[in-house]
Structure 1
Amino acid sequence: MGEGIAPVLATDRRAALRAAALWLAVLAPFFYLTYGTANWLASLRSNVPNLAFGWERHIPFLAWTIVPYWSINAFYALSLFVNETPAAVGRLARRYLTAQIIAVACFIAFPLQAIFLRPDTDGLPGFLFDVLGGFDKPFNQAPSLHIALLVIIWDHWRGRLAGKTRMLWHGWSLLIGLSVLTTWQHHAIDIPTGALLGFFALWLFPASGVVPLAGFRLTNDARARRLAAYYAAGAGGLLVLCILETRASGAGLTLLWPALALAIVALGYAGAGPGVFQKRTDGRISLASRWLLLPYRLGARANLRWWTRRLPAAAEIADGVFLGRMPSPGELATYAAIIDMSAELPGLAVPGLAWRAFPSMDLLPVPAPRLREAVHAVEEARRHGPVLICCALGFQRSALVAASYLMRAGFAENAVAAEAQIKAAGRSVHLPFEAYAAIEEAAR
């Protein structure tokens, strides 16, 4: 079999190299054309504003850091050629393209300029600064395209390196990130906005290959559309505040983060589904999702603590089967397995603990196939020890699974009796009337 695989891998490799060369032939001219156009348009304006904090004047100018600053150009090209398949090349190229299009659009719509004048520099740093000044003007600031591309390239290499080489890569990437300040090319606000853009590109084209917005269709579920509207309104309100506050101080741009997080959640309810959270079956979430949706997850954690503050973490609804909220690390020792129905919260990796996730949107019905799979997972896990069925609060999604399990295992005759048994065990649940049919179907 190995003899047959080798030619296939070699063919994929040659195809990947051709794809990399073609993409680079498109991306490089596109970058210089669009970047230069944005600079030119900004130069035509009579008054281009800037966003710089007073403390930034204490950042030293380190001429030698132009070397790591410039090195990202080499990694930009090289990264395209370090892929195993044409699909991987295309994924990286689309990440590049996403970052470049969004950044350039921001440079044209809201140009900003760097206000620090660099001192004269000679030697190799001087030469590199002269070359940079030949096409780069001080107008393309937030979001920093340099930082956005760094996030993409750093992520591309970190999974391909190991040991000391990987640590060296982390250190060099950090140096590239700091160099945007020590070369006086950017101001501080450009860094978090650039990082946000980079993570958005990673989120939009994830390594799993499952694009979160692929096949998006507007949902017909009235409740889902209403929730999508609420989150979209929150995102829009934060965006308006961001624009208004940014006129007074650069700190207003920080509101872009929670605005983007709410917008992504709105897309999930509008029809994209739980895939926007990028949660895997083992409970882990992607790096991009972890950072992009952090403001939303902090709110979800606060909501969890508030609504369950007077309730026990979990209640035993049957022999060795518990129903509760998302557990804390200290509560995991009780269980052999976790059946997790939440999409928005990550699981916890603990040696010896089986974590099975069935990501589902909060406050919406769990699709029948997913509900049935979760019930089967409970049955299988129960053979190995105590099982916790959970979601964020333990009120609806996990309660559907728990009620279905009680019926299937013979502890309850119907959905109403299953719900009553759960409440008798001391767990408050909120199951809508229309959920009973789904429970009984999953229990069959």
Structure 2
Amino acid sequence: MKLGALQRRALLWLAFLGPFFYASYGLANHLASRRGAVPTLAFAWEAQIPFLAWTILPYWSLNLFYAASPFLFRRAQALDAHGRRLLLAQVLAVACFLIWPLRFGFERPAAEGWAGALFAALMSFDQPYNQAPSLHIALLLILWQPYAQRLQGLARWALHAWFALIGVSVLTTYQHHFIDIPAGAALGLLCMSLLPLEGRAPAAGAEQAGQLGRRLARRYALGAAAALAAGLGLVALGLRQPGPGAGALIGAAGLLLAWTALALAGVAWIYRGARGEGFQKRADGQFPIGPRLLLAPYRLGAWLNSRWHTRGGRARTEVWPGVWLSRQPSAAELRRARPAGLIDAAPELALRHGAAERLPLLDLLVPSPQQLRRGAEAIEAARPRGAVWVCCALGYSRSAAIVATWLLRSGAARDAAAAARLLQRLRPGVALSAAHWQAIAAAAQ
């Protein structure tokens, strides 16, 4: 049977990735084995984890999913992104193994029968090193997405159950300590976020962020560094606790802080390039699994901030008949109101609406005149169909700038001063700087 171009491309990726995996992974194991003392990082409660010999089967099955994964794709761009994800995960993981090798610290019980044969095959090339980050977990997450996208219904739920079992098996086969799992998950999500299967990778530094953008990027980076230092300190404290209860709680708090640090670092990267597209919000208002989980702590904080500052009946305001200025609405609010049009200017928050116009404007930065003009044109195009909501996280800045631009372009306000008075009277929280009004004036011409 003659192979198609995409199948040949998949075979080439597999022919490269397979040998590279075993060569680089084996080299890191070999170099670690030659060191005099390789440390172990384990919580006290991990001694209670049972050894389940049969879970070597799901553990091994990841190899089959790995080998078949290049043949899942129907487009060369997505296939290449998948191959680069696997390669990047391998390179970063091996770099960690070489810089700071760790050793599995528990004695593995003997296994018999078919499970014993699988363990013997594993030990023929593996050693108790290459711990954090768990490459098994990183690859598990990277592989999970394309398989889940191809399956539906019961088959998809079966895939989720089996992949969850693979994740647990790294502990029950005594291959990894717990700390390796979140480290591996962070690695996998990072690779998925940097190399999306659809569209372009998020850019940084491609445009001039301006003084404010660079300052915000530095602040997020400093916040990430502080959260990481505190998180690693708590994890280290938890590892030293003799009792399982206190160590688990302290360690969990540390891991949450480390996750927050990773999210803040990602936001700093996005602000460094002043590109709201870096959040990778799709046309349906949702996020791919990588950035959705990687940036979850930041996005949760942004949502809570939105609700806190718009409490007490300040969710939205009608500033002109049929034109509403709104915070990011919930799904329930959209179902009740059923706006005919929606301009979504908050790329950091999910918002599902079939008729939405997506404008990826970064919070606290001044939109460009072109972005404001596009938003104003979207309002005008949607008005004949009914009510139009223009929303961002709070409904006070990004969305207000779009509405102000429409007020001037449509003639609803004769000048910027009249538009400012109208917005301040109807929605007192509106915060537009002089730089905002300069961009609005340029967009209104």
What TM-score, normalized by structure 2, do the two folds share?
0.91
1:276 aligned residue (270, 275, 278): 278
Q: Name the CA distance, whole Å, in 2 between partners of 1:301 and 1:160.
A: 31
Residue 166 of structure 1: aligned partner: 156
Q: How does 1:1-400 map to 2 (within 5 A)?
A: 14-213=4-203, 216-217=205-206, 219=208, 221-250=210-239, 251=251, 252-271=254-273, 273-310=275-312, 312-332=314-334, 333-336=336-339, 337-349=341-353, 354-400=355-401
> Residues 170 and 340 of structure 1: is their aligned pair in 2 closer, same or farther, counting only changes over 3 Å?
same
Residue 247 of structure 2: aligned partner: none
Q: Name the CA distance, whole Å, in 1 between partners of 2:238 and 2:91.
A: 26
- The answer to which of 141-150 and 330-339 deviates more is 330-339
Deviation at 1:220, TM superposition (A): 5.3
Q: Name the CA distance, whole Å, in 1 between partners of 2:314 and 2:207.
A: 38
Q: Name the CA distance, whole Å, in 1 between partners of 2:414 and 2:104.
A: 71
Deviation at 1:431, TM superposition (A): 1.0
SS at match of 2:396: coil
The answer to whether the 8 A contact 2:405-2:444 is kept is yes
SS at match of 2:359: strand
- The answer to which of 63-72 and 238-247 deviates more is 238-247
Deviation at 1:399, TM superposition (A): 0.6
Q: Name the CA distance, whole Å, in 2 between partners of 1:45 and 1:299.
A: 44
The answer to whether the 8 A contact 1:326-1:394 is kept is yes
Q: Name the CA distance, whole Å, in 2 between partners of 1:34 and 1:219.
A: 39
Residue 443 of structure 1: aligned partner: 444
Match for 1:346: what amino acid?
A
Q: Name the CA distance, whole Å, in 1 between partners of 2:338 and 2:387.
A: 5
Deviation at 1:341, TM superposition (A): 0.7
The answer to whether the 8 A contact 1:315-1:427 is kept is no
Residue 424 of structure 1: aligned partner: 425
SS at match of 1:323: strand
Q: Name the CA distance, whole Å, in 2 between partners of 1:243 and 1:108.
A: 20
Q: Name the CA distance, whole Å, in 1 between partners of 2:11 and 2:355.
A: 44
Match for 1:224: what amino acid?
G
Match for 1:92: what amino acid?
H
SS at match of 1:159: helix
- The answer to which of 16-25 and 220-229 deviates more is 16-25
- The answer to which of 39-48 and 316-325 deviates more is 39-48
- The answer to which of 139-148 and 189-198 deviates more is 189-198
Q: Name the CA distance, whole Å, in 2 between partners of 1:314 and 1:228.
A: 30
Residue 7 of structure 1: aligned partner: none
> Residues 321 and 327 of structure 1: is their aligned pair in 2 closer, same or farther, counting only changes over 3 Å?
same
The answer to whether the 8 A contact 1:335-1:387 is kept is no
The answer to whether the 8 A contact 1:282-1:357 is kept is no
Match for 1:222: what amino acid?
Q
SS at match of 1:359: coil
Q: Name the CA distance, whole Å, in 1 between partners of 2:25 and 2:274.
A: 32
The answer to whether the 8 A contact 1:225-1:270 is kept is yes
The answer to whether the 8 A contact 2:134-2:176 is kept is yes
The answer to whether the 8 A contact 1:15-1:86 is kept is no
> Residues 239 and 109 of structure 1: is their aligned pair in 2 closer, same or farther, counting only changes over 3 Å?
farther
Q: Name the CA distance, whole Å, in 1 between partners of 2:209 and 2:58.
A: 51
**Deviation digits for residues 260-290 of structure 1 (CA, Å, limit 9, x no counterpart):** 1111111111115112211123322222111
- The answer to which of 257-266 and 274-283 deviates more is 274-283
Deviation at 1:344, TM superposition (A): 1.1
Q: Name the CA distance, whole Å, in 1 between partners of 2:192 and 2:366.
A: 29
Percent of matched pairs sharing the same residue:
47
- The answer to which of 424-433 and 45-54 deviates more is 45-54
* Runs of 5+ consecutive residues of structure 1 not aligned to the other structure: 1-9
- The answer to which of 228-237 and 160-169 deviates more is 160-169
- The answer to which of 267-276 and 245-254 deviates more is 245-254
SS at match of 1:383: helix
* Runs of 5+ consecutive residues of structure 2 not aligned to the other structure: 240-250
> Residues 22 and 216 of structure 1: is their aligned pair in 2 closer, same or farther, counting only changes over 3 Å?
farther
Match for 1:347: what amino acid?
L
SS at match of 1:417: helix
The answer to whether the 8 A contact 1:212-1:272 is kept is no
Match for 2:106: what amino acid?
F
CA-based RMSD of the aligned residues comes to 2.1
**Deviation digits for residues 211-254 of structure 1 (CA, Å, limit 9, x no counterpart):** 113x7436351111111111111112223334444433352444
Deviation at 1:330, TM superposition (A): 3.6
SS at match of 2:237: coil
Match for 2:218: what amino acid?
A
The answer to whether the 8 A contact 1:228-1:267 is kept is yes
Deviation at 1:145, TM superposition (A): 0.6
Q: Name the CA distance, whole Å, in 1 between partners of 2:221 and 2:199.
A: 26
SS at match of 2:324: strand
The answer to whether the 8 A contact 1:15-1:85 is kept is no
> Residues 254 and 50 of structure 1: is their aligned pair in 2 closer, same or farther, counting only changes over 3 Å?
farther
Match for 1:373: what amino acid?
R
Deviation at 1:387, TM superposition (A): 1.7
The answer to whether the 8 A contact 1:326-1:390 is kept is yes
Structure 1 residue runs of 4+, over 6 Å off? Answer: none
